[in-house]
Amino acid sequence: MNFNRLILLLSIFIFSNSVVAQTDTLPYPKNGPKWFETISLGGYVQARYNRLFETNPQLECEQCDGSWGEGNGFSLRRVRLKFSGNLGDYVYFYIQPDFASSAAGGIHYGQIRDAYFEVSLDKSRQYRFRIGQSKVPFGFENMQSSQNRIPLDRNDALNSSIRNEREVGVFFYYTPEHIRKRYSVLVREGLKGSGDYGIFGFGAFNGQTGNAPELNNDLHVVARVSYPFKIGRQIIEPGIQGYTGKYQMPLGNISPGTIVREDLNYIDQRIAGTFVLYPQPFGIQAEYNFGRGPEFNTETGAIEVTPLHGGYATLTYKTTIKNQVFYPFTRYHYYDGGKKFERDARSYNVSELEIGVEWRPVKAFELVANYTFSSRRFEDFQNPINLQEGSLLRIQAQVNF
């Protein structure tokens, strides 16, 4: 029995032995709320324009935002609906489709982002299993909702780990009750929290990234430890996380002529550190990760396992002027490594500086202006020499409901 399956069986064992004595009384009482009375609906829409003061139309970022660069204009980056609710004292569900996904020949297709349920082992929901497609607990900015994050896109360094940050799997989270309340405050009060992913979490997932079929029999495993310390009125959250597994290159992502391993399987491992000082009023958010994974080698024309590293630092200031909230910010991020889910595990070297501000005049509306200075080398078998540098002003309007 391999280690991945042992972790999965251990999780099921803990769940089955803990929940039996704590299930809701059967048959269910008739005077309780109906399931549809506890469901909430929310969401957000993001509209963007990326081409103001653009100096290089060949500068683009496939993973960040497909509407960068030549041939693009106004775009809908995200159109999300959130359905969620508690089904009794021990079960919670969350479903989030996105209607701004792209497919061959068109845009604005619907696609599942999240579809999971949580089964808690106690009424206070301190111990819970999350089952389905959800965010993998790797990287604070990865887990931070795009509805709350200030920079328009996630950094390349940690976001290159998992496409759309999500996977199908089983994850266990532990959060003491008073920390659950703290996580809720960090989001509710506009402090740009990540939500509740526990002070400890671990789990197993397919490893082919979200909305993609499993191609081998090797599950990935992940673990994360993080704690939001309260020091006076400040809250500081350090953390560490890592995952390991084998990723199989999909045949459709390999250019003819690219040299690959016979079984198409490549080691995929990372470890990352996190430090967050929540903006009250000054904030710092920084992460860095190391690892190894598949990357295209322009000299050999082969996809090889190579080292990777990179991270980011974001400085933020939160201020209120006449009941309107402003978040001036700057972020620098760097990445040197491959992106396994892009063509030929495309090789990247990214150095990027962003300066901008988020303005929230009312709760339901936000506007972000973000000036980007970027140097991106992104190379694959079809485009082995490709360094693009330039700058541009990016604008995003967001409505929350």
For the domain that residue 135 is a member of, what is the CATH number? 2.40.160.10
pLDDT digits (tens, 9 = 90+) for 277-298: 999 999 999 999 999 999 999 9
Structural domain count of the chain: 1
pLDDT, average across residues 238-246: 98
- Asked if pLDDT for residue 17 goes beyond 80, the answer is no
pLDDT digits (tens, 9 = 90+) for 27-58: 555 677 777 788 999 999 999 999 999 999 99
Q: Comparing 104 with 16, which gets the higher pLDDT?
A: 104
Q: Is 136 helix (H, G, I), strand (E, B) or coil?
A: coil
User: Residue 365: what pLDDT?
Assistant: 98
Q: Comparing 33 with 383, which gets the higher pLDDT?
A: 383
> Is residue 340 a contact partner of residue 266, using CB atoms and an 8 Å limit?
yes
DSSP 72-104: --SEEEEEEEEEEEE-SSSEEEEEEEEEEEEET
| CA atoms in the 13 A half-sphere facing the CB of 259 | 8
pLDDT digits (tens, 9 = 90+) for 103-120: 877 899 999 999 999 999
pLDDT digits (tens, 9 = 90+) for 117-146: 999 999 999 999 999 999 999 999 999 999
Q: Provide the residue range defining the domain that includes 386.
A: 3-400
Average pLDDT, the chain: 93
Give CA separation, 15 vs 8, 196, 204, 219, in Å.
11, 20, 15, 20
> Is residue 234 a contact partner of residue 209, using CB atoms and an 8 Å limit?
no
Q: What global pTM score does this model have?
A: 0.91
- Asked if pLDDT for residue 346 goes beyond 50, the answer is yes
User: Residue 220: what pLDDT?
Assistant: 98
User: Residue 7: what pLDDT?
Assistant: 56
- Closest to 196 (Cα-Cα) out of 211, 213, 175: 175
Burial of 366 (0-12, 13-18, 19+ CB in 10 A): buried
Give the whole-angstrom CA distance, residue 15 versus residue 128: 9
**Paired strand residues for 283:** 316
Give the whole-angstrom CA distance, residue 228 versus residue 218: 33
